[in-house]
Amino acid sequence: MAHTSDALLPVQQIQQSIHWVRGKRVMLDADLARFYGVTTKRLNEQVIPTSLDN
């Protein structure tokens, strides 16, 4: 699925993709990739690792 539009996603669709894990709100990489119109593999290649200490 390629990104073909600059249209905004419905808020409800985004909210349904947010999960609680150990008291933190998280989104799965598969959901983010779908929102950006790329594969999960490609999304993960571009993510800069962040500290989990926060």
5-49 tens-digit pLDDT: 567 888 999 999 999 999 999 999 999 999 999 999 999 888 877
Q: In the structure, what pLDDT confidence band is assigned to residue 1 with cuts at 50, 70 and 90?
A: very low
Is the pLDDT higher at 49 or at 4? 49
Backbone angles phi, psi at 26, to 5 degrees: -135, 160
* pLDDT of amino acid 46: 87
Answer yes or no: are the C-beta atoms of 43 and 33 closer than 8 Å: yes
For residue 27, report the phi and psi dihedrals to the nearest 5 degrees. -125, 140
